[in-house]
Amino acid sequence: MKFGVVVFPGSNCDDDTIGVLEAMGQEAIKLWHKDTDLQGADFLILPGGFSYGDYLRSGAIARFSPIMDKVIEHASNGGYLMGICNGFQVLVEAGLLPGVLLRNDKQKFISKNIYLKTQSTNSLLTNGLDTEKAYKIPIAHAEGRYFADEATLKQLNDNNQVLFRYCDENAEITEASNPNGSLENIAGICNAGRNVFGLMPHPERAADPLLSNTDGLEILKQLISSEVLA
């Protein structure tokens, strides 16, 4: 599989993401935000960072970058697409994922390790994950509070589109384990077609044994080891 990592002005996790993909033996290339050619990439990733300085709303300007027309076309045709942190923000701004990401409830930037619990294994990203495990993954965001109206939340839950929720180290989903005030502790979702994924935590930052944490690597490995589900 060939991965394309989109680089916006202000992206800062593109090299981290490519490094992990290459360590897994995958071909990974950078795609500049002004490009209009995806160079044959099968799977696109919008990485973390502060695209366009996070002016207006996070991801609001990046959504109009020239490459996004091709990104949207790729996803609309069933191609795989994932947004991590700022990339997730771009995806909701582009309407590729439902809901919005609001400023954290404490009105502060948060950078720390949190825990995730897998909620659905019916997706490429989560197919092989342990639903009873608490995955330790870093977060680093100021606008990560997931919000959606009641009808959208119901649809997400009914369709098993909620992929991850924030939990504690014992894999218990509690109010105290919610770092940013996200509704229902939601940390990651997919679209109805299950080919577009978004999550606020950074699995690429927990993918090296030198960091004493490879929980993120377990998540990213699903992209190349899981079976595609209907």
pLDDT at 226 (0 to 100): 54
User: Regarding beta strands 145-147 and 2-7, do their DSSP bridges make them parallel or antiparallel, or are they unpaired?
Assistant: unpaired
Beta carbons of 13 and 111 less than 8 angstroms apart: no
pLDDT at 10 (0 to 100): 96
pTM (predicted TM-score): 0.95
**What's the first-to-final CA gap in the chain, in angstroms?**
19
- Which residues have C-beta within 8 Å of that of residue 162, sequence separation ≥ 6? 119, 120, 156, 184, 186, 188, 189
In the chain, what are the domains? 2-225 (3.40.50.880)
pLDDT at 227 (0 to 100): 44
pLDDT at 229 (0 to 100): 39
User: Regarding beta strands 27-32 and 162-167, do their DSSP bridges make them parallel or antiparallel, or are they unpaired?
Assistant: unpaired
Q: Is 202 helix (H, G, I), strand (E, B) or coil?
A: coil
Burial zone of 177 (CB within 10 Å; 0-12 exposed, 13-18 middle, 19+ buried): buried
- In tens digits, what is the pLDDT along the chain, a chain of 230 residues? 899 999 999 999 999 999 999 999 999 999 999 999 999 999 999 999 999 998 888 999 999 999 999 999 999 999 999 999 999 999 999 999 999 999 999 999 999 999 999 999 999 999 999 999 999 999 999 999 999 999 999 999 999 999 999 999 999 999 999 999 999 999 999 999 999 999 999 999 999 999 899 999 999 999 998 544 33
Minimal CA–CA distance to 186: which of 170, 204, 198, 202? 198
Rounded Cα–Cα distance for residues 79 and 196 (Å): 8
User: What's 146's DSSP letter?
Assistant: E
Q: What positions carry a catalytic annotation? A: 85, 202, 204
Phi and psi dihedrals of 134, rounded to 5? Answer: -95, 110
